[in-house]
Amino acid sequence: MGSLPAIARDSERGALLDVHVQPGSSRTECVGIHGDAIKIRLAARPINGAANEELIRFMADRCAVPRANIQILAGAEARRKRLCVKDVSAQALLARLLPKNEKENGAGMNRLRISSAVLAVLMLSACSSARPVLYPNAHLESVGKEGAEQDIETCKQLAESAGAEESTGGGKAGRVATNTAVGAGAGAASGALGSVIAGASAGLGSMVGAASGAVWGLLTGIFYAAVGPSHQPNQAYTNFVNRCLKEKGYEVTGWQ
């Protein structure tokens, strides 16, 4: 557990934990590591504090402590939150959320690092997801940048809860499958050719090439299915977020 210092750590108040929540899910569960936080799906929508209440209930049950021992220190209206859990150490907290032995955790972290490195290469050719650009009116100046960011996250969560997806889903599965198949085919062909040139078994080279090509094709397929070719959210999503921000007093000039 010592390899995850940024996610959970001990303090005088209790164990501090960074979480990334996904409200509106079919059930509440801990998914695993999400960047430098623990991802938790919540079977509640971010309306009238329901998602935060469900998060506190889930954490209290998993840690076997009273709900009063769970405190949201930051991010009450955002997906990224910092929790304080009293009477539980950081190591015990992670053990209860991620019940795996140290060997499995180490292997999982190694796989995560490899996947992150591959995706980082793909990121060099991709743009970050679009966000609304706010005009610096009196309301924006009064709430500040941090307050505006929290309001943007709140409006985005409300849009998703209403059924407006940030990116269009059509053809994503097909693109992933196609990239996987193309990667496997290209890897098999190049592996067989290379083996013949080197005097080795073409069949063995083909199998190795197909496996490595399929992995690369799968990763690129998942990546481009997620970010999309234009990196722009769909119109229903932006319209919802724009109206939500307008009702809060902001002026959206566009997305980028």
Domain ranges of the chain: 8-97, 132-167+231-255, 172-227
Provide the whole-model pTM: 0.41
What pLDDT, on a 0 to 100 scale, did the predictor assign at position 165?
Answer: 82
Rounded CA separation 110/114 (Å) = 6
Instruction: Please compute the mean of the pLDDT values over residues 143-171 and round it to a whole number.
Output: 83
Decide which of 164 and 170 is more confident: 164
Handedness of CA 68, 74, 75, 79 (dihedral sign): negative
pLDDT band at 137 (very low <50, low <70, confident <90, very high): very high
3 state SS of 135? coil
Q: Of the candidates 165, 78, 167, 80, which has an alpha carbon nearest to the alpha carbon of residue 129?
A: 167
Fold for 8-97, please state it.
Answer: Conserved Hypothetical Protein Mth637; Chain: A; (3.30.1200)
- The DSSP bridge pattern shows strands 29-34 and 15-22 to be unpaired
Residue 210 phi/psi, 5-degree rounding, is -65, -40
pLDDT tens digits, 81-105? 999 999 999 999 998 898 654 334 4
